A and B are shown apart, each in its own frame.
Chain A
């Protein structure tokens, strides 16, 4: 296929869904059928384009790809920077290399499955529901068109992120997804909960949406700082330009490969390791690692297709995808010239999160809650892999996880639908249909859901050989073991042990979940009256199960079981080819610990993963499956762990309560008491009131003065004048004789003056002065 055609197709991949968002919101919001048909058309066209591009990438063959990984690379001038006359522009563009190709395959397929599923999930075709902004059990959601618009925007943003060739466009897609997660988690914005005390705690969807957005926003700010430093260090945001061996070597020289570097003038500059950590902060938020994991379980408040998209196919995958994409930076940052702390921080957070959330998942009763914590746990696996330097293993687990987690979420949604249908039939709207304690025996009521859930659950647990999760998890174990046994890396051992325990717990809680949901007898009337979901919902489950089984077979190690099978590890060779050459060059320059290579065979990781997976499943079966729970029977785990520990796990290690006390309550106190009361009302309003009072007082005094001067003053003048005239009036007596007297007097006075002047008496007088 021509290069030009491929470039155009790559550009067009995100366009369909993004355009659909605007079309639906502006034009077809009132026509539900047209809206979801548009959404289907957009995502299916993206699927076709994505798969075509991806297969064209693979068709190049991995030898060629090692030298030229970016099969498609096309950019346009976007923003003039620096001197406009010089003509330097920031470029934005798309690229397709093997890593983005596998990601495109997974994301586009999962999204199409989810879109098909959503039509059934929102009960299209059933009578229209009347509760706007709330879930309408059994009836068609009145806001279904808006749902598809937002999901299209979400899909478009994710595809934009995957095909982008620079960090800025990736960040744009990242942020759009953040907004979509907010609006989709809070899709049922009017839902309020009125819960019984022993029921599973829920926060209202609108609060969950804010929580998700705020938590990831904290991480995004730090990531933005990382992007700024990235640009400062490399002078470009383009992945292939910035992360080439030459560019990394130059940057390591100038800025230092570790956390910081004292420059010649004595100042400290942030090195490559620090930049890697800043960007990693974005992943901590987006992929819900500790300490920013708290948003993900509450994000279960959104409709199940949203959970499948956010927590499997798209958003959390984007977090891991980003650090996989910038892997050379992390490798140099944690390499021989860099700082080992970088690797320890990343892998440590990943491993800790994996184990912590696995322990929480064993004590959860909400079917989606278990899956939420398992997602956090599996993401911890991927992050730990990257921290150790296992590029291909992390990418592999990302892809397989996308398939089987999406499958599990959609299947759980089907289960919930069945329970809600049962609730509708027996008119019981108080029992939580998501609570596994009230399920049971759904194996016979919902067979297709059962089998697909089983396949997904086995993939998650890592059932050997026949599930995708096994192969990808095994590769992470192999990498960890290799680092410990060959390099003596303590980090390798740490990760190996933590992830091993987490894998054991994963298998355990998965079997617990499957047993509580599907085995035994129905524990409540809701489960008794459940029935299988519509084809819209079950066909995607089957589609995803195919991949949940088969996707792993592309990653069977070349030397599996010690036998040289030839180059069968397609995933390793193709995806590894993306950064094969840069890593080889960096290895020559002694800037990274390892290049991309095939691990030598060791039995330890295989035996370990077999043990933990089968062991976990066996213990789960022993506890929950052999004698399935009866009605009202308490969870046997409470007796084993003790109520204290079980409560600690059930309440998610009380992280939410801790954050509430340490961060949220003080912030609210600060904003209510200090900013609002003191600063806003007290100081600012006080100042305004003071100014107003001053002017008012001035006005009052002016009025008083005016009254005095122009009122009383004038009156006084008038009175004086009248008094004077009263005096003068006495002259006019009306008696002419008196008039004559007066005139004579004055006349004689005048004569006297004239005489005085004449005779010089007046001048004598005046000269005295």
Chain B
């Protein structure tokens, strides 16, 4: 199976995730989309590792790093969303414009 197919899948996932970041109202949904992006990136990483330098464990380590960071970041993000919800009683990203101007 050629490398480009895996890259294509990753790109498609990335785009879907990107679209989700742009277009979802709910903050939690945006975070889910961010997860998608991160995972797409992960696929890219693994694909390149397997097809280019399979003997080095660098790619493998890196992918695990990304996974862990994604998880941590999702936890932090959700904690933020909960905090916002407690203050504003809403999770719609559009309404959070305190930094306006």
- What residues on B are CB-neighbors of A729 within 8 Å? 101
Interface locus among A165-173, A697-705, A732-740: A732-740
Q: Is A744 an interface residue (CB 8 A)?
A: yes
Contact in complex: B98, A735 (CB < 8 Å): no
Q: Please, could you name 14 A-B residue pairs with CB atoms under 8 Å apart, sorted by A?
A: A732-B100, A734-B96, A734-B97, A734-B99, A734-B100, A735-B93, A735-B94, A735-B97, A736-B93, A737-B21, A737-B30, A737-B93, A740-B21, A741-B22
Contact with B along A603-641 (1 / 0, CB 8 A): 000000000000000000000000000000000000000
B96 contacts which of A735, A740, A741, A744 (Cβ < 8 Å)? A735
Q: Is B18 an interface residue (CB 8 A)?
A: yes
A733 contacts which of B21, B23, B97 (Cβ < 8 Å)? B97
Query: Closest A-chain residue to B21, C-beta based?
Result: A740
Query: For the complex, what is the distance from the CA of A573 to the CA of B13, rounded to whole Å?
Result: 157
Contact in complex: A736, B22 (CB < 8 Å): no
- What residues on A are CB-neighbors of B99 within 8 Å? 732, 734
Query: Closest A-chain residue to B30, C-beta based?
Result: A737
Query: For the complex, what is the distance from the CA of A744 to the CA of B22, rounded to whole Å?
Result: 10
Query: For the complex, what is the distance from the CA of A733 to the CA of B101, rounded to whole Å?
Result: 6
Query: For the complex, what is the distance from the CA of A740 to the CA of B23, rounded to whole Å?
Result: 11
Contact with B along A702-744 (1 / 0, CB 8 A): 0000000000000000000000000001001111110011001
- What residues on B are CB-neighbors of A733 within 8 Å? 97, 100
User: What secondary structure prevails in chain A residues at the interface with B?
Assistant: helix
Contact in complex: B22, A740 (CB < 8 Å): yes
Contact in complex: B100, A736 (CB < 8 Å): no
Query: Closest B-chain residue to A726, C-beta based?
Result: B101
Given A735-B97, A740-B21, output 8 extra A-B contacts at Cβ < 8 Å: A729-B101, A734-B98, A734-B100, A735-B93, A735-B96, A736-B93, A736-B96, A741-B22
A residues lining the B interface (CB < 8 Å): 729, 732-737, 740-741, 744
Query: For the complex, what is the distance from the CA of A741 to the CA of B22, rounded to whole Å?
Result: 7
Number of inter-chain CB pairs below 8 Å? 28
Contact in complex: B100, A737 (CB < 8 Å): no
Contact with A along B73-100 (1 / 0, CB 8 A): 0000000000000000000011011111
Query: For the complex, what is the distance from the CA of A740 to the CA of B100, rounded to whole Å?
Result: 15
Query: For the complex, what is the distance from the CA of A732 to the CA of B100, rounded to whole Å?
Result: 5
Query: For the complex, what is the distance from the CA of A744 to the CA of B18, rounded to whole Å?
Result: 9
- What residues on B are CB-neighbors of A734 within 8 Å? 96-101
Question: Chain B nearest CB: distance from A755 CB in Å?
Answer: 15
Query: Closest A-chain residue to B100, C-beta based?
Result: A734
Q: Which 8 A-B pairs have the closest CB atoms?
A: A734-B97, A734-B100, A734-B99, A729-B101, A732-B101, A735-B97, A737-B93, A740-B21
Contact in complex: B22, A737 (CB < 8 Å): yes
Most buried by B among A729, A736, A741: A736
- What residues on A are CB-neighbors of B96 within 8 Å? 734-736
Question: Chain A nearest CB: distance from B41 CB in Å?
Answer: 14
Question: Chain B nearest CB: distance from A50 CB in Å?
Answer: 116
- What residues on A are CB-neighbors of B21 within 8 Å? 737, 740
Query: For the complex, what is the distance from the CA of A138 to the CA of B96, rounded to whole Å?
Result: 120
Question: Chain A nearest CB: distance from B65 CB in Å?
Answer: 22
Query: Closest B-chain residue to A729, C-beta based?
Result: B101
- What residues on A are CB-neighbors of B93 within 8 Å? 735-737
B94 contacts which of A737, A740, A741, A744 (Cβ < 8 Å)? A737
Query: For the complex, what is the distance from the CA of A735 to the CA of B94, rounded to whole Å?
Result: 6
Question: Chain A nearest CB: distance from B96 CB in Å?
Answer: 7
- What residues on B are CB-neighbors of A732 within 8 Å? 99-101
Q: Which of B5-22 contact A (CB under 8 A)?
A: 18, 21-22
Question: Chain B nearest CB: distance from A749 CB in Å?
Answer: 16
Query: For the complex, what is the distance from the CA of A744 to the CA of B30, rounded to whole Å?
Result: 15
Query: For the complex, what is the distance from the CA of A415 to the CA of B32, rounded to whole Å?
Result: 144
Most buried by A among B18, B98, B100, B101: B101
- What residues on A are CB-neighbors of B23 within 8 Å? 737
Question: Chain B nearest CB: distance from A429 CB in Å?
Answer: 104
Question: Chain A nearest CB: distance from B71 CB in Å?
Answer: 21
